[in-house]
Amino acid sequence: MGSVAYNLLLCLACFLIVTPYVEARFVVEMNSLSVTSPEDLKGTYTSAIGNFGVPDYGGTLAGTVAYSKDNSAACSEFGSTDKFKSKLGGLPTIVVVDRGDCYFALKVWNAQKAGAAAVLVADDRDEPLITMDSPTEDTAAADYLENITIPSALIEKSLGDKLKTTVGDGKVVSLKLDWRESVPHPDERVEYEFWTNSNDECGPKCQAQIEFVKSFKGAAQILEKGGYTLFTPHYITWYCPEAFITSRQCKSQCINQGRYCAPDPEQDFDQGYDGKDVVLENLREICVHKVANETLARPWLWWDYVTDFQIRCPMSAKKYNQECAEEVISSLGLDAKKIRECMGDSETDSENKILKGEQEAQIGQGSRGDVTMLPTLIVNNVQYRGKLDRGAVLKAICSGFEEKTEPPVCLSPEMETNECLTNNGGCWEDVKANITACKDTFRGRVCECPLVNGVQFQGDGYTSCEANGQGRCKIHNGGCWQETKDSKTFSACSDSKATGCECPAGFKGDGVSKCEDIDECQSKTACQCSECNCKNTWGSYDCECSGDLLYIRENDVCISKKGGTARVGWVVSMIVLLGIALVAAGGYLVYKYRLRSYMDSEIRAIMAQYMPLDSQNEVHHHLNEET
Ligand SMILES: *[C@@H]1O[C@H](CO)[C@@H](O)[C@H](O)[C@H]1NC(C)=O
Ligand SMILES: *[C@@H]1O[C@H](CO)[C@@H](O)[C@H](O)[C@H]1NC(C)=O
Ligand SMILES: *[C@@H]1O[C@H](CO)[C@@H](O)[C@H](O)[C@H]1NC(C)=O
């Protein structure tokens, strides 16, 4: 059930072989839990992330607490698929269940089926928190384990008791689970390790590792090629105690005279493959990674090798051997001889540098505990908890980048949290224009004014965003008023102004929600002469003059169509005509004078070339002036 049980199982299988250190230091990975109401429970508590399901690395989950008295341990089904479903617009339900009577994972599975968004298992004794592991022996559990998609955590008995009583009293308890600090995120590169095993016949756990490597390979290679991550594969080995080195068991399970051992795949010490075959293949896989990096600078070939080896050289086909391995190695363009050199001699009575390094790396350092479970994933020196699933692991790795340095693969649609789907994530939006400031990322949503068709919106992203600059009127008319009537359109947006809205001429209003037609006739702003007959139109006005008169819109006057009666018009025309005549005459005189003086100087210049003149200086003066 717990990790301890699994370690015990491993050690029974490896027969009298113990880990090279006396006391294992197992670090329980935590996420933060804060109660936001009621007042008397408010505070931050710790909880230990379960080693199955999908912890929301880099994110948070807010919800209300539920506790079912009739099925308090959640060992049987709740019978309804929507018992814990959140009501429309309500917060998700976080279900508290009691520890005991069945597997942790089964409790979580039952609660998930009833609609829970997360499960808190309340410890039944006062003790330091442990990591809830997945059942390893039970093949029936393997079925539902894969399907657990919600996060779970173990909480202390004291907190569990308080939550249960408060909910029992009919009060609403709100709390928030927070995984944002579960993985350190100090810089723009993530270091991660995968502790695994080349054994492909150990049941569901081995199957899960194989499936994970296959599904994660693509993402891992993109991250590594882009320099975003530094990945190292690791393998656990044990050593045989002095007194047993010559025993049959140690001889079949170990290499280098009992120094590096692995459990027998069939646990029979007789048939099929022995533990030492597994140790050798593990060593080969480490060397593939090392040689691929050193000779080709392509360490990510490890992912190709491991998947190809599993497909082409399985134990079941009796191909789990050096010959088959080297075919795979050659097909990847790697030098099999270099790999053999890297592996060294497995028969000698001395240390193997690489495997010794692996045993040392197994011991926890700094914030990291010892590696005692297989498989184990370590991200930025913290052990990953949760199921080995492509999306879940990618999320954990992505949460290890310093904010804003995440590679594109972390910002892809499949990593989105879909928080924008409810209530637009609390961000600004323009429903009519279908423009929103809400952006889903794996870290949760952010409210950022968008860039639409090349136009940057500016504002706080929560309450306001406004289109700015050129082209802004093309996007939902810059958020300004616009109306069309009788195929005439007026708009309060103008590209010549960088921001804001202003009603066009003939209208008044705020320019955003409303611009009203100005009644020019009523407001006496035009068409007010005695002969004028005013008629308002939308956005303008019509003006007609009585009798034979013609309306001149620019001057807002009525004039006669034939000259004479309306003096104003006649005077204006005469003045204009006179002006034109004067300008034309003046222009002609100037032109004549210029032409003449130009010809004068030309002639004099030509003549100067043939006969020296007294007044040379004068000529030059003229020429300079003309050029
Ligand atoms: C788990 O999910 C798979 C695929 O959706 C489904 O076929 C299978 O029946 C599920 N297992 C259980 C135990 O519900
Ligand atoms: C590959 O080798 C270089 C030095 O040659 C080293 O700095 C780097 O850490 C290695 N990469 C991996 C993934 O081990
Ligand atoms: C709004 O825009 C999104 C993408 O930008 C699109 O998927 C959706 O269909 C649009 N909705 C409407 C009502 O136009």
Q: Do 201 and 311 reside in the same domain of the chain?
A: yes
- The answer to whether residue 258 sits within a structural domain is yes
| Domain CATH number, residue 138 | 3.50.30.30
Query: In the listed set 468, 484, 500, which residue is the last one of a domain according to the structure?
Result: 468
pLDDT value at 83 more than 70: yes
Average pLDDT, the chain: 82
pLDDT value at 541 more than 50: yes
Look up the domain containing 238 and give its range.
2-23+184-411
Q: Do 285 and 259 reside in the same domain of the chain?
A: yes
What is the 205 CA–ligand 2 centroid distance (Å)?
A: 30
What was the pLDDT predicted at 324?
Answer: 93
- The answer to whether residue 248 sits within a structural domain is yes
* % the chain with pLDDT above 90: 34
Q: Is the pTM of this model over 0.85?
A: no
- The answer to whether residue 547 sits within a structural domain is no
Q: Do 87 and 38 reside in the same domain of the chain?
A: yes
Cis peptide leading into residue 375 (ω within 30°): yes
Q: Tell me how far the alpha carbon of residue 337 is from its chain's centroid.
A: 43
> Are 134 and 145 contacting, i.e. CB atoms less than 8 angstroms apart?
yes
Categorize the per-residue pLDDT at 575 as very low, low, confident or very high, splitting at 50, 70 and 90.
low
Specify the residue with its C-alpha closest to ligand 1, atom 13.
144
- The answer to whether residue 232 sits within a structural domain is yes
- The answer to whether residue 535 sits within a structural domain is no
- Is 462 a pocket residue for ligand 1 (Cβ < 6 Å)? no
The domain total for the chain is 5
The count of residues in the chain is: 627
pLDDT value at 605 more than 70: no
Which ligand approaches the C-alpha of residue 298 most closely?
2
Lowest mean pLDDT among 203-207, 213-217, 306-310: 203-207
Query: In the listed set 454, 484, 513, which residue is the last one of a domain according to the structure?
Result: 513
Task: Tell me what the mean pLDDT of segment 459-477 comes to.
Answer: 82
Q: Which atom of ligand 1 is nearest to the CA of 144?
A: 13
pLDDT value at 92 more than 90: no
Q: Among 77, 143, 145, 149, which is best to mutate for testing ligand 1, by the most ligand atoms less than 8 A from CB? A: 143
Q: Do 334 and 376 reside in the same domain of the chain?
A: yes
- Is 296 a pocket residue for ligand 2 (Cβ < 6 Å)? no
pLDDT value at 99 more than 90: yes
Task: Tell me what the mean pLDDT of segment 27-31 comes to.
Answer: 77
Categorize the per-residue pLDDT at 568 as very low, low, confident or very high, splitting at 50, 70 and 90.
low
Q: Do 69 and 133 reside in the same domain of the chain?
A: yes
Q: Do 107 and 9 reside in the same domain of the chain?
A: no
pLDDT tens per residue across span 368-377: 778 877 788 9
pLDDT value at 20 more than 80: no
Q: Do 192 and 312 reside in the same domain of the chain?
A: yes
Query: In the listed set 126, 157, 178, which residue is the last one of a domain according to the structure?
Result: 178
Lowest mean pLDDT among 80-89, 290-299, 409-418: 409-418
What is the 434 CA–ligand 3 centroid distance (Å)?
A: 6
Lowest mean pLDDT among 308-317, 583-592, 605-614: 605-614
If phi > 0 it is left, if psi is from -120 to 50 it is alpha, else beta; for residue 258 that is left
- The answer to whether residue 114 sits within a structural domain is yes
Q: Residue 156, Cβ neighbours under 10 Å: how many?
A: 19
Identify each DSSP E strand in 134-287 by its residue range: 152-155, 174-178, 190-196, 229-235, 254-255, 260-261
Q: Do 504 and 586 reside in the same domain of the chain?
A: no
Q: Do 392 and 457 reside in the same domain of the chain?
A: no
Categorize the per-residue pLDDT at 227 as very low, low, confident or very high, splitting at 50, 70 and 90.
very high
Q: Do 194 and 305 reside in the same domain of the chain?
A: yes
- The answer to whether residue 152 sits within a structural domain is yes
pLDDT value at 323 more than 70: yes
What was the pLDDT predicted at 224?
Answer: 92
Q: Do 462 and 405 reside in the same domain of the chain?
A: no
Record the tokens describing residue 488, joined without a space. 């005439």
What was the pLDDT predicted at 326?
Answer: 94
Tell me the three state secondary structure of residue 303: helix
- Is 299 a pocket residue for ligand 2 (Cβ < 6 Å)? yes
- The answer to whether residue 7 sits within a structural domain is yes
Q: Do 233 and 282 reside in the same domain of the chain?
A: yes
What was the pLDDT predicted at 179?
Answer: 87
What was the pLDDT predicted at 144?
Answer: 87
pLDDT value at 611 more than 90: no
Q: Among 190, 289, 293, which is best to mutate for testing ligand 2, by the most ligand atoms less than 8 A from CB? A: 293
Specify the residue with its C-alpha closest to ligand 1, atom 1.
147
- Is 298 a pocket residue for ligand 2 (Cβ < 6 Å)? no
pLDDT value at 167 more than 90: yes
Instruction: Identify the residue with better confidence: 134 or 422.
Output: 134
Residue with tokens 């989950």: 61
